[in-house]
Structure 1
């Protein structure tokens, strides 16, 4: 059974091109690990592979969900595992590519043994000012507080939630999980694309311009019933604001570029922690 090859990197770094190259070399088939490329009707916004690229080698898990369908890392895992197993059963190499770090983490290491969200507690935390949440986390788990982006409300809230639901420190649970995943990492093989910041930003700007000129505006206009997942795709809110007359075309493009650059920076930080990935400098 041939193990998967994972190809990761920030948005617009060239993952799809490298995946095609490796699939041709290894006789592989490409499996999507991008949260938004799972959806039909978001092909341009999500920069999904073109029809020409899809025809070159078999691709899996692209455009398989209706825009109204909710999805998360757990549901992705349930979709991806049988697809990968089928590719391996045919003595082919699964080439798993995408930039959704949590989706990839679930696939490579499994879900962390952390408590699931509690709706009532989450509502309580959502109603709490961020300053009080930070103080609460610092009291419950100083170690976790020290390594959490304290301006990110979602991160702080989740850390507090883990502490309260588990009765343990979030840092202890995460550290224990990291120790376990280190053993799994030794048996994984993967590549992560690195580009200079100016190069990546130029590629992002070029892709945004091509996207807007290539039909993305009409694509968003056609979205009438979509899940909160789809709404989070970069470009959806910005284009909807433009269609509503709230902003102009230039501002829309600038906002998409800025949001994409910020997302790419977060992706780079995520993959930097995945030490099992071998860097590929482009």
Structure 2
């Protein structure tokens, strides 16, 4: 299994095609938005020509109203990878959804999900009391937590209560297990100069608006929360409603995409097992 990661518009799809051809592999989607059908232009899904050149999996497999999260993605992708391997092929995983990739590469986090009732109970307490309780319950976690950040303190204490063991022990065991898994992982993190990446984002946005994204949004009457987060969806809806003009819509999409790309770069830089690959114009 080989991973091709990077920010939006960095050239992941083209690089994945090259890698798959060299390895005798098949491409598997790890982009949350490209799981949906009916939004191929909006989400910059691989072209039909690319999909004919090399087998692609998990593109356009969900209806727009179907909910999905990282755990649901994991349940979808594992059988696909196993089937590809059973034919002696190499799965080439590509996408920009960091959490989806993390679940696949390292497994889901052992930390329990939040519980609304407990969360409300903790939210009602002053920060000083939360800090005191965390220091008593899990002094190790308290020592490495920003105790001025209420959200961090509350979450650490919540984990201790729900799991029945110190949050620090769960995190440490998880770090040890994932570091061992990382030794066997292979993949690249594609990087471009900021000016180059921003230029490519602008070109993509223009092509998206001219290539059918507006018509796609017109047809999306119901969209799951995951798809609702797709960059361009809200901006094009405002365009269709007459709230903004075409130029403003394009500018807003470009700005949102640049911000998203920056967050993606920050995420992937933390994944030390990825080999950094700088692409030229």
Shorter-chain TM-score tier = 0.7 to 0.9
**Which of 243, 250, 254 is the equivalent residue of 2:251?**
254
Shift of 1:198: 1.0
Larger Rg: 2
Flag the 1:91–1:236 CA change in 2: closer, same or farther, 3 A. same
Flag the 1:250–1:121 CA change in 2: closer, same or farther, 3 A. farther
Number of the residue aligned with 2:146 = 146
The answer on 1:113 being equivalent to 2:101 is no
Q: TM-score, normalized by length of structure 1?
A: 0.87
Tell me if the contact between 1:68 and 1:226 (Cα under 8 Å) persists in the aligned partners. yes
Number of the residue aligned with 1:89 = 86
Note the residue ranges of structure 1 that are not aligned, 5 or more in a row: none
Flag the 1:199–1:66 CA change in 2: closer, same or farther, 3 A. same
- RMSD over aligned Cα atoms: 2.6
Equivalent-residue separation in structure 2 for 1:161 and 1:216 (angstroms): 42
Flag the 1:14–1:158 CA change in 2: closer, same or farther, 3 A. farther
Flag the 1:147–1:100 CA change in 2: closer, same or farther, 3 A. farther
Shift of 1:173: 3.3
The equivalences for 1:99-110 within 5 A come to 99-110=96-107
Describe the SS at the equivalent of 1:37.
helix
The answer on 1:208 being equivalent to 2:205 is yes
Number of the residue aligned with 1:52 = 49
Number of the residue aligned with 2:231 = 234
Tell me if the contact between 2:146 and 2:153 (Cα under 8 Å) persists in the aligned partners. no
Aligned pairs, how many?
A: 272
**Which of 14, 32, 35 is the equivalent residue of 1:35?**
32
Number of the residue aligned with 1:162 = 159
**Which of 77, 81, 86 is the equivalent residue of 1:80?**
77
Tell me if the contact between 2:133 and 2:157 (Cα under 8 Å) persists in the aligned partners. no
